Structure 1
Amino acid sequence: MEEAYVKLTIENKIGFIEFFHPNRNSMPSDVLLELEQIITTAGNNDDIKVIVLKSGGDRTFCAGASFNELIAIENAETGKHFFSGFANVINAMRKCPKLIIGRIQGKAVGGGVGLAAAADYCFATQYASVKLSELSIGIGPFVIEPVVSRKIGKIAMSQMTIDAETFYSADWAKEKGLYSEVFESTEELDQALNALAGKLTSYNPEALKEMKKVFWQETDHWDALLHDRARISGKLVLSNFTKDVLKKYR
């Protein structure tokens, strides 16, 4: 079985950050921590002008939280710590001084939708449908709600949250503003992504940095807000309802 990883490669001033987990690119704590650290490192690297966030494999972009780790949570503090991993990645993306382009090649679920929403611009394929399944397992998309609502609005966020077992199409996600462009294949996606990223590397880095600040204005309170939301999820994951549902996924 392939090992999970997070890696950074630099090509032509573009920093490609790739994460992978053999279980549909789900996110255990160690992958979340590494992703947060690498985003911060790339943001401070003068050799990088723009960042591309992508995942390994060609099917699922990110299946969200690691169910195996959720099952193992036994107290509220551990629960908060786990969900804070997502909070830290979103905050790292938000505070990163470089623009981040998301490459969403396949399905995004839960925290995966949060990652797409935290990117400054997203390219996707027609296979990149989205789902917020958290309510169906007894928790809720608390940590990612601010970043998803910021991108697609409260009404679309509420729709996805309440209709928790439905995958919404990539075209729906584009219509709501989560994706900027949707392509029929990963080849077409990569062509367009590399063209845009290449252009961005030739722009004034100071202008890009200042523009990024403008995009994320009025989110300075998110450091506290997202960790507060992590506490809610961390408590709910201990409920009998959630424990019973998660047993099916062992």
Structure 2
Amino acid sequence: MEHPYVTLKIENKVGYIEFFHPNRNSMPSDVLSQLSQIIYEAGNSDAVKVIVLKSGGERTFCAGASFNELIAIENEDEGKMFFSGFANVINAMRKCPKLIIGRIQGKAVGGGVGLAAATDYCLATKYASIKLSELSIGIGPFVIEPAVSRKIGKTAMAQMTINAEEFYSPGYAKEKGLYGDVFNSVEELDEAVKTLAEKLSSYNPEALKAMKSVFWENTEHWDTLLEQRAEISGKLVLSKFTKKTLKRFG
């Protein structure tokens, strides 16, 4: 069985950050923690001008929180700590001085939609449907909501949250502004990501950095906000409803 990992590979001044988990690229704490750290490192590396965020495997971009880990949470502190992992990744992406391009090759669920929304520009394939499934398991997309709402608007975010068991098409995601473009194959996606990232890496780095901070204006309070949201999810994951629901998946 393959092990989870997070790697950084630099090619032509582009830092490719890749995460992987054998269970549909779900996110346990150790992967979230490594991801935050590597985003920070790439953001501060002189060798990297632009960052690409991608995941391993061909099918799912990211299935969100690790259900095995959610089942194991026993108290509010553990709950808050787990969901803070997602908060830390989103804040690392927000504060990163380099532009981050998302490469979404397949389905994004829950926290995976949050990751896509926290990139500065996102490209996807026609297989990259999105779903916010959290309400159906008794929690809610609290930590990722600010990132998702900022990208697609509160109304679309609310619709997806309420229709928690429904996948929304890549066309919908593009129309709402989550994806900049959608491609027919992974090969076309990779070509487009490489072309865009390398083009951006040739631009004035000071201009890119200044634009990044403009994109993320008025989000300075997210350090506190996302921590508060992690606390809400951390409590709800202990509810009888969620414990019972997660057992079905365990």
Provide TM-score, normalisation by structure 2.
1.00
Cα displacement string for residues 196-248 of structure 1 (whole angstroms, at most 9, x for unaligned residues)? 11110110000000000000000000000000000000000000000000001
- Matching residue's letter, 2:141: P
Q: Which residue of 2 aligns with 1:74?
A: 74
- Tell me the C-alpha RMSD between the 2 structures: 0.3
- Hey, what's the Cα distance between the residues in 2 that align with 1:195 and 1:161? 34
Cα displacement string for residues 117-165 of structure 1 (whole angstroms, at most 9, x for unaligned residues)? 0000000000000000000000000000000000000000000000000
1:44 is aligned to 2:44 = yes
Number of equivalent positions: 250
Give the 5 Å matches for 1:1-250: 1-250=1-250
Percent identity, please: 78
Structure 1 stretches of at least 4 aligned residues deviating more than 2 Å after TM superposition: none
Secondary structure of the corresponding residue to residue 6 of structure 2: strand
- Matching residue's letter, 1:156: A
- Hey, what's the Cα distance between the residues in 2 that align with 1:6 and 1:93? 15
Cα displacement string for residues 172-200 of structure 1 (whole angstroms, at most 9, x for unaligned residues)? 00000000000000111111111111110
Provide TM-score, normalisation by structure 1.
1.00
Q: Which runs of 5+ in 2 are unaligned?
A: none
Q: Which runs of 5+ in 1 are unaligned?
A: none
